[in-house]
Amino acid sequence: MNNDSSIAQIAAMLREEAAQLGPGARLPSSREIMRRHNVSPVTVSRAIGQLAAEGRVVTKPGSGAFVAHQIRTGRDTADLSWQTVALGDRVVDESPVAALLASVPDGMVPLTGGYLHPGLRPDKQLGAAAARAVRRPDAWAKPPLTGLPELRRWFATQAGGDVTAADALIVSGGQAALAHAFRALAAPGTPVLVETPTYPGALAAAKAAGLRATAVPMDSAGVRPELLAEAFAVTGARVFFCQPTLHNPTGATLPVERREQVLQVARAAGAFVIEDDYARYLTEDAPPSLASMDQHGTVVHVGSLTKILSPSLRVAAVIARGPAAHRLRASQLVESFFVARPLQETALEFVGSPAWRRHLTAVHAEIRTRRDALAAALAARMPEAELHLLPIGGMHLWLRLPAEVDENALVEAARRNGVLVSPGRMYYPSEPPGPRIRVTHIAATHLPELHEGVRRLAQALADTRRPAADRA
pLDDT, tens digit (0-9, with 9 covering 90-100), for 400-427:
999 999 999 999 999 999 999 999 999 9
Asked, colleague to colleague, whether 3-87 and 95-119+356-471 share their fold, the answer is no
Strand pairing report for 396-400 and 299-304: unpaired
Tell me if 195 sits within 8 A of 247, measured CB to CB. yes
The whole model's pTM is what?
0.80
Measure the CA–CA gap between 436 and 434, rounded to whole angstroms. Answer: 6
Q: Which helix (H) or strand (E) holds 83?
A: helix 82-87
Measure the CA–CA gap between 210 and 309, rounded to whole angstroms. Answer: 32
Closest CA to 457 of 417, 397, 403, 401: 417
Measure the CA–CA gap between 138 and 14, rounded to whole angstroms. Answer: 55
Domain ranges of the chain: 3-87, 95-119+356-471, 139-340
Strand partners, 318: 169, 302
Q: Which of 50-59, 197-206, 249-258, 463-472 has the lowest mean pLDDT?
A: 463-472
> Long-range CB contacts (< 8 A, 24+ apart) of 97-102?
97/175, 97/200, 97/201, 97/204, 99/422, 99/426, 100/200, 100/201, 100/422
Closest CA to 222 of 319, 287, 281, 271: 287
The answer to whether residue 470 scores a pLDDT higher than 70 is no
Which amino acid is present at 49? G
For residue 175, count other CB atoms closer than 10 A to its CB.
22
Q: What is the reported pLDDT for 3?
A: 60
The pLDDT confidence band at residue 359, using thresholds 50, 70 and 90, is very high
The pLDDT confidence band at residue 8, using thresholds 50, 70 and 90, is confident
**Proportion of the chain in helix, strand, coil states, percent, rounded to 5:** 50, 15, 40
Whether the CA torsion 238, 208, 206, 89 is positive or negative: it is negative
Tell me the percentage of the chain whose pLDDT exceeds 70. Answer: 96
For residue 219, count other CB atoms closer than 10 A to its CB.
13
Query: Which homologous superfamily does the CATH classification assign to the domain defined by 95-119+356-471?
Result: Aspartate Aminotransferase, domain 1 (3.90.1150.10)
Tell me if 314 sits within 8 A of 176, measured CB to CB. yes
The answer to whether residue 99 scores a pLDDT higher than 80 is no
- Tell me if residue 323 falls in helix, strand or coil: helix
Which amino acid is present at 161? G
Q: What CATH architecture applies to the domain 139-340? A: 3-Layer(aba) Sandwich (3.40)
The answer to whether residue 468 scores a pLDDT higher than 80 is no
Q: What is the reported pLDDT for 443?
A: 94
Eight-class DSSP state of 26: B
Tell me if 207 sits within 8 A of 93, measured CB to CB. yes
Task: Report the CATH fold assignment for 3-87.
Answer: Arc Repressor Mutant, subunit A (1.10.10)
Q: What is the reported pLDDT for 1?
A: 45
Cis peptide before 249 (omega within 30 of 0): yes
Closest CA to 280 of 264, 303, 252: 303
Tell me if 48 sits within 8 A of 57, measured CB to CB. yes
